[in-house]
Chains A and B, each alone.
Chain A
Amino acid sequence: MRCHLNQPTQLGRLQGGHARSRVACVACHSVHKGFAKLAPRQAAAVNRGCAACHTAEWAEFQRPHRHKLPEAVMSCVDCHNPHGNFLPGSAQTVAANEPGCFKCHADKRGPFAFEHPPVRLQGCRTCHEPHGSANPRLLTRHEQRFVCLECHANVGLTGNAGGVPPAFHDLASARFRNCTICHTKIHGSYADRALRR
C-alpha cells in the first residue's frame, strides 16, 4: 500500500469489506507471476479467485436461473468493486452514481414518469436474487403474487410503502396471480401510473 495508497482504485477502500477484514493484496494479485496473474482480466480467472473465499456466493451461481458467471461471460467484478465502494456489498456504480445493474439493464434505468418506488428506494434486490435463484427471473419467491403482495398489503397510509390492490383482484383467478400479466412495465412506465403500458 505504500505505493498504491493514493491511487484511484483505493477510493472506496475504507468502506469495503476486504480492507476491513485485512485481506492482503496478494490474496488476489500475484506480483511475481506475470501480468495475467497480477491483474486477472479473464472472467473465468476472476471468478475462480473470488470463489476461493466466497464459496457460499459461488454456490448460488449453481442454481438454474442465474447471471452467467459459470459460463464465464460475466465476472464478479462486473457488479462488485473488490477494492470497495460506498454502496452496500461494494456494488459498482455506472454513470457516476447510478446502481451498476443499469449498465446492462439500461431499459430499467429511466427516469420514468411513473416509477415503481422500490427500484429506487431499495434497489433490485427487493424482488430479485442477483446471484441465482430456483425461481424464474431470479425472483425471491416462487410465484409472482407473493413477491408483490408481501409489500402491497398495507391498508391506508401506514408506516410502510405499498397499498392493497383494489378488490377486483380476485386471487382465485390465474389472471390476478400473475401480476405482470397486466402490470407489464413493472420497473417503471412512461405512460401509465398503474404500470400497465
Chain B
Amino acid sequence: MKNFVLVLLIAPLVAQSPPATPQAKPPAPQAKTEAWLTGTLDLGYRWVGKVGGDFNTYRSVVNLGEGPKLFGADLSLTDPSRRLFDRIDVRGHSWGGDPYNTARIDARKQGLYEFSFDYRNLAYFNFLPSFADPTRERGFFLNQRAFDTVRRSRDFRLDLFPGRRITPYFAYQRNMGEGSGITNLVLDGNEYPIRTRLYDRADDYRGGFRFQFSRFHLTLEQGGINYADDQSTFWPGGRHGGNVLTPYFDQRLFLESASQLYHVRSDSLYSGAMFTANPLSWVDLHGQFLYSRPHSTAKLAQQNTGNFLDFSVLAFYTAQLDTVAGEARRPHSSGSFSAELRPIRRVRVIESWMTDRLHNAGSALLGEMLLAGARTVDVERVFAAQRLVLNYNQQQVEVVVDVTSWLALRGGHRYVWGDAQTPAGLINLPYGDWSGQLRRHVGLAGASLRVGQKFRGSIDFEASPGDRAFFRTSLNDYQKARIRARYQVLPSLILAGNVGLLQNQNPAPGVNYDFLSRDNALLVNWNPWGGDYLSLLAEYSRSTLRSDILYRVPSTLGRELSYYRERAHGGTALADVKLPGSGTIKPKLSFGGSLFASSGSRPARYYQPLARTAVAFKDRLEWNWEWRWYALTQQLYLFEGFRTHQFTTGLRLTM
C-alpha cells in the first residue's frame, strides 16, 4: 500500500509538463572532443614570517598559518551521456590547515534535479585584552571573554524537477560550534575568569513545494530545528583570587573548585507560504506569511567551593549548590504584502505592508543551597518569569514616474508603528515592566538616472521628524541620503562613486543624542588596450562618524557625555602589469593591497600591501608567488598590535 501511495504521489510530478513560461533550451550535445573535466587547481606553500607584537591579536585578526595548502579548486565535470548529471561543479577554498575552509558542490540534470552542498569551516579565535580585561592596570593582559572555537556549517539542498510546474525541494543544514575559551564565574562580590568548553549544534530540516504558473507562483514550506547547547565551565582546583583582591570584613574571597554545566535543548517548527502573481498586465502582487514557534528548555547545575560572601544575608559560605530549570517559548509570526500597480503609462505605484509579531514567555526556577562547612547558610527556591512582546508594523506607498526614458523620479511615505513590552529589568529604577510605543512618519524621495549605456545613478533620500522610539539611540529625528553613480568614461575606464549621509537626533532632555555619519567612496577601473598589458582597480573611501549622547554615571546618577569620533581613510588597489615574455611564457606582475587608517576615539592603522608575480607556461600551467604584509597598530592600545609578512608560492593547473 505504501508503495502504491508513493507512486501515486510521485507520478503526477514526473508526468507534469513544463510551465508556460519559456524555459532555457537544453544545451546542445557536446562535441566528442570537448573536455569532460575543466577548471583550475591552485596548490602551494605559505611561509609566515616572525609575528612581531602580540601573537594573540594576529590570531584574532588574520590567523593564517604556514604549510602546504590547496588554495583553491574550481572544477566542472560534464557527463557527455547526460545519464546521471549534466554538470557537476566542485569548488574548494583554503584547505590545508587554514582557518577558513569552504567547499561547494553543485550538480544538476536538466528537468530532473538540482543539488547543492555547501561546507564552511571558520575558526573563531578572539583574545583581545582591550575588550574585557579588568586586570590590565595590574599588568595582566588577559581577555576574560576569550574564545578559541570553530564553527562549521553543512548545507544540503535538493530541488526536484526544476523548471516544471510543481517543484518539490528539501534542504538540511547542520551548524555547529565547538572549542574552548575563558569566561567568568560570577559570584557575589567577585568574579573568577576560568576555562569554558563550548559546544552547540543546530539541525535545520525543511522541505516544500513550489507551484509555478505563468500568472502566479506559490511556495509552501515546512521546517523544523533541533538545537543543543552543552556549555561547561570549570575550575579544577587550586586557590583562585578572582578580580577582587581587597578583603570583605577582613576576609579574602577565593575559589577552590567550580563546575557549571548547561544542558539546553531547543526545537522549533516553522511554516511559510509565499506567492507572487500578476493577475492583470498592470498589477503585480507579492505576499508571504511566515510562522515559527521555537521552544527551549534548559538545565544548569553549578557547584563551587571556596570562600564566598552572600550579600543578601551578609554571611560567608564555603560551598554553593545550584540547580536551575528554565523554559521559554517564542511564537513569532510575520507577514508582508506588496503590490505594484501601473495604472497609466510611465507611472508605477508600489504599496507594501509588513508586520512582525513575537511574544517570548520565559521562566526559570532556581534551587540554591549555601553551606559553611556542615552548616547551612541559606536555602532558596526562587521562581522568575519574564515576557517580551513586540508588535512591529510598516506600511509604505511610493509613486515612481518615468519622466523620460532616462530619468525616473520617486516619492512616497512610510509609516512605522508598533509597541513593545520588555521584562521587569533588575536595573530599572524603580522596578517595573517597560512598555513603549513606536511611531515614525518617513518621507521618501529618489531618482534613477540612466543615460545610454554609459551612465547610471540613483539618489535615495528619506527623512523623519521623529516621534517615539524604543531606545535612546534608535532612529528618531533623522535624515538619510545615498547617491550612487557609475560612469563609463571610456571603453577602458569606469568610475563609480558613493556618497552617503545619516544624521539622527534625539533632543529629549537627558538624551541629547546627536549622530552624524558620512561616507564617500570612489572606484576606478581602468583597462587600457583591452586590459592586455595593464589593468587597475582602485578604490578610496573617506568616512567620518560623530556621536554625542548623555548618559548617567550609575554611582552618582550624574550626567556625562559619551562621545565617539571616527575619521577614517580606506583604500584598496590592485594593478596588473603584463611583462614581456618569450614564446609561450607570459609573466604578469600584480601589486596593491589595502589600507585603513583612522583617528578619533580608537585610532587604528591596518595595512595589507601585496605584490604578486605569475608566470604562465603555455595555457595549462602557471607558477605564482605572492608577498603580503600585515600590520595593525592602535595608538591607544599598543599592546594589541602586530606585524608580519607572508610569502606564498604555488602552481595553478588548468584543465
A124 at the interface (CB under 8 A from B): no
Query: Does B364 contact A114, Cβ atoms closer than 8 Å?
Result: yes
B452, chain A: closest CB distance, angstroms: 13
- Residues in B with CB closer than 8 Å to A106 are 175, 177, 200-202, 227
- Residues in A with CB closer than 8 Å to B616 are none
- Contact A95 B286, CB 8 Å, known A150-B549, A164-B427: no
- Contact A174 B296, CB 8 Å, known A73-B122, A169-B554: no
Interface of B is mostly: strand
Which one of B5-13, B272-280, B647-655 contacts A? B272-280
B422, chain A: closest CB distance, angstroms: 4
Query: Does A137 contact B126, Cβ atoms closer than 8 Å?
Result: yes
Interface mask (A32-50 → B, CB under 8 Å = 1, otherwise 0): 0001100001110000000
Query: Does B363 contact A113, Cβ atoms closer than 8 Å?
Result: yes
B280, chain A: closest CB distance, angstroms: 13
Interface residues in A1-48 (C-beta closer than 8 Å to B): 3-8, 10-15, 17, 20-22, 35-36, 41-43
A142-B364 Cα distance, complex, nearest whole Å: 34
- Residues in A with CB closer than 8 Å to B186 are 182, 184, 196-197
Interface residues in B498-518 (C-beta closer than 8 Å to A): 498, 500, 508, 510-511
- Contact A184 B436, CB 8 Å, known A137-B126, A171-B553: no
Residue in B225, B336, B432, B520 whose CB lies within 8 Å of A56: B520
Query: How many residues from A make CB contacts under 8 Å with B?
Result: 112
Query: Does A163 contact B473, Cβ atoms closer than 8 Å?
Result: no
- Contact A97 B334, CB 8 Å, known A59-B543, A65-B61: yes
A114-B175 Cα distance, complex, nearest whole Å: 24
Query: Does B420 contact A161, Cβ atoms closer than 8 Å?
Result: yes
Query: Does B390 contact A120, Cβ atoms closer than 8 Å?
Result: yes
- Residues in B with CB closer than 8 Å to A35 are 87, 89
B256 at the interface (CB under 8 A from A): no
- The winner among B22, B94, B302, B601 for most chain A CB atoms within 10 A is B601
B195 at the interface (CB under 8 A from A): no
B164 at the interface (CB under 8 A from A): no
B207, chain A: closest CB distance, angstroms: 13
In the complex, the chain A residue whose C-beta lies closest to that of B208 is: A8
- Residues in A with CB closer than 8 Å to B91 are 41-42
A178-B177 Cα distance, complex, nearest whole Å: 25
Query: Does A55 contact B498, Cβ atoms closer than 8 Å?
Result: yes
Query: Does A153 contact B539, Cβ atoms closer than 8 Å?
Result: no
Residue in A56, A95, A155, A174 whose CB lies within 8 Å of B136: A174
Residue in B260, B333, B519 whose CB lies within 8 Å of A97: B333
Query: Does A163 contact B227, Cβ atoms closer than 8 Å?
Result: no
A150-B472 Cα distance, complex, nearest whole Å: 7
A10-B275 Cα distance, complex, nearest whole Å: 10
B217 at the interface (CB under 8 A from A): yes
A36, chain B: closest CB distance, angstroms: 8
- The winner among B204, B212, B474, B520 for most chain A CB atoms within 10 A is B474
B486 at the interface (CB under 8 A from A): yes
- Contact A56 B473, CB 8 Å, known A73-B94, A73-B122, A170-B555: no
In the complex, the chain A residue whose C-beta lies closest to that of B177 is: A107
A117-B427 Cα distance, complex, nearest whole Å: 13
Query: Does B296 contact A111, Cβ atoms closer than 8 Å?
Result: yes
Interface residues in B547-584 (C-beta closer than 8 Å to A): 549-557, 562, 564, 566, 568, 570-572
Residue in B22, B358, B422, B427 whose CB lies within 8 Å of A165: B427
B380 at the interface (CB under 8 A from A): no
Query: Does A111 contact B122, Cβ atoms closer than 8 Å?
Result: no
- Residues in B with CB closer than 8 Å to A156 are 428-430
B17 at the interface (CB under 8 A from A): no
Query: How many residues from B make CB contacts under 8 Å with A?
Result: 182
- Residues in A with CB closer than 8 Å to B363 are 113
Interface residues in B455-486 (C-beta closer than 8 Å to A): 458, 460, 468-474, 484, 486
Query: Does A175 contact B243, Cβ atoms closer than 8 Å?
Result: yes
A114-B556 Cα distance, complex, nearest whole Å: 28
Query: Does B352 contact A14, Cβ atoms closer than 8 Å?
Result: yes
Query: Does B298 contact A15, Cβ atoms closer than 8 Å?
Result: no
Residue in A43, A98, A135, A140 whose CB lies within 8 Å of B102: A43
- Residues in A with CB closer than 8 Å to B217 are 6-8
Query: Does B286 contact A12, Cβ atoms closer than 8 Å?
Result: yes
Query: Does A191 contact B100, Cβ atoms closer than 8 Å?
Result: no
A90 at the interface (CB under 8 A from B): no
- Residues in A with CB closer than 8 Å to B498 are 54-56
A154-B470 Cα distance, complex, nearest whole Å: 12
In the complex, the chain A residue whose C-beta lies closest to that of B385 is: A113
A193-B484 Cα distance, complex, nearest whole Å: 45
- Residues in B with CB closer than 8 Å to A169 are 554-555
Query: Does A111 contact B243, Cβ atoms closer than 8 Å?
Result: no
Residue in B284, B486, B553 whose CB lies within 8 Å of A5: B284
Query: Does A3 contact B21, Cβ atoms closer than 8 Å?
Result: yes
- Residues in A with CB closer than 8 Å to B358 are 120
- Contact A191 B324, CB 8 Å, known A55-B523, A112-B362, A136-B130: yes
In the complex, the chain B residue whose C-beta lies closest to that of A4 is: B21
A98-B145 Cα distance, complex, nearest whole Å: 27
Query: Does B426 contact A111, Cβ atoms closer than 8 Å?
Result: no
- Contact A190 B292, CB 8 Å, known A6-B216, A111-B266, A121-B420: no
- Residues in A with CB closer than 8 Å to B60 are 136
B444, chain A: closest CB distance, angstroms: 9
Interface mask (B140-178 → A, CB under 8 Å = 1, otherwise 0): 000011000001010000000000000000000101010
- Residues in B with CB closer than 8 Å to A110 are 266, 294, 296, 328, 330, 360
Interface mask (B617-651 → A, CB under 8 Å = 1, otherwise 0): 00000000000000010100000000000000000
Which one of B47-55, B528-536, B591-599 contacts A? B591-599
Q: A106-B200, A117-B420, A174-B134 are in contact. List 8 more A-B contacts (CB 8 A).
A: A8-B219, A97-B356, A104-B151, A113-B362, A117-B423, A142-B602, A149-B551, A197-B300
Per CB-CB distance, the 10 closest pairs between chain A and chain B, nearest first, are A113-B362, A163-B428, A190-B298, A59-B541, A111-B330, A96-B270, A73-B100, A55-B521, A142-B602, A97-B290
Selected A-B contacts with CB under 8 Å, 21 pairs: A7-B212, A14-B350, A15-B338, A17-B460, A43-B102, A56-B519, A71-B94, A72-B94, A110-B328, A111-B330, A115-B386, A126-B471, A134-B566, A151-B471, A160-B469, A161-B471, A164-B429, A166-B426, A190-B364, A194-B426, A197-B186
